[in-house]
A and B are shown apart, each in its own frame.
Chain A
Amino acid sequence: MKLWALVSVLLVGLLLLWAEGDIPSFGDASAPSYNYVADRYITDAYNDTATKNMVTAILADYRGYDTLGELTVIFTAGVVVLLLLRRGGRL
């Protein structure tokens, strides 16, 4: 069981290291996220969502899927702490 966990962690780590080469370098002005999406959000966010706060429009509307994942991470963290501390490690 522990061996399988180690193997899967190593595999995912190698996958991430392999994919790391495609990330644009830090502060790269020609990165896609600075050129296409950002302009679109700034010009269209209010017309699309009638929300004055652009951050909320991006967070809850354009990137709703991402925020759902974030919320799941928080929920999982709470459940794990509950399992480990409140129940003393008994699953």
Chain B
Amino acid sequence: MKQDVVIRTVCRLVVPFIQLFALYVIIHGASSAGGGFQGGVIFASAFILIGIAFGVADARKRISEKCTVLFSACGLGIYAGIGILCIVFGGNFLGYSFLPLPLPVPEIRGLAAEAVEIGIGITVMAVMTSLFFDIAVDEEAV
């Protein structure tokens, strides 16, 4: 079901800014308030807003259900993959300081934590969107 033209126009204007803000919250988690969980939820809220304003079928066109499942597994894979990469280079699981980057150890740990946050963000975004798709009633189908 499509909402009023005002709601649709405002939604179309606001969604890119919500997504940009979500990316900012994820990336800026290392130096100010923020992180993967919060940023992922904000990113998912953009898709939920599209679902409310344009109908769930339109939101499914933007990000398909198959995509959400794939992304949620991807984020977990990024996190666990970084942990296993540390084992490959001779450290403990998630022992970031063993990653072979040409940087001092604290910087490597900070970078790895940031990469892990991106994985968290992807999974949280995909799971939240998937939950919305599963719970929302499709008006066209009823």
Contact = CB atoms under 8 A, between A and B. Distances in A.
Interface of A: 47-53, 55-57, 59-61, 64-65, 67-68, 71-72, 74-75, 77-79, 81-82, 85-86
Contacts of A47: 106
B130 A68 contact: no
B49 interface: no
Nearest to B107: A50
A86 to B, nearest CB: 5
B75 A82 contact: no
Contact of B33 (A53, A57, A82): A53
A28 B34 CA distance: 30
Contacts of B75: 71, 75
B43 interface: no
B23 interface: no
Given A55-B35, A67-B79, 9 more contacts: A51-B110, A53-B31, A60-B36, A60-B117, A64-B94, A67-B116, A71-B120, A71-B123, A75-B75
Contact of B35 (A59, A74, A86): A59
Contact of B127 (A57, A64, A77): A77
Interface residues on B, range: 35 or more
A48 B92 CA distance: 16
16 contacts: A49-B109, A50-B107, A51-B30, A51-B109, A53-B29, A53-B35, A56-B117, A59-B35, A61-B109, A64-B94, A67-B79, A71-B79, A74-B123, A75-B127, A78-B131, A85-B135
A52 B126 contact: no
A53 B34 CA distance: 9
A53 B116 contact: no
Interface in B24-52: 29-36
B116 A64 contact: yes
B15 interface: no
Contact of B30 (A52, A72, A77, A86): A52
B29 A56 contact: yes
A45 B73 CA distance: 30
Contact of A78 (B32, B79, B120, B127): B127
A74 B106 contact: no
B66 to A, nearest CB: 11
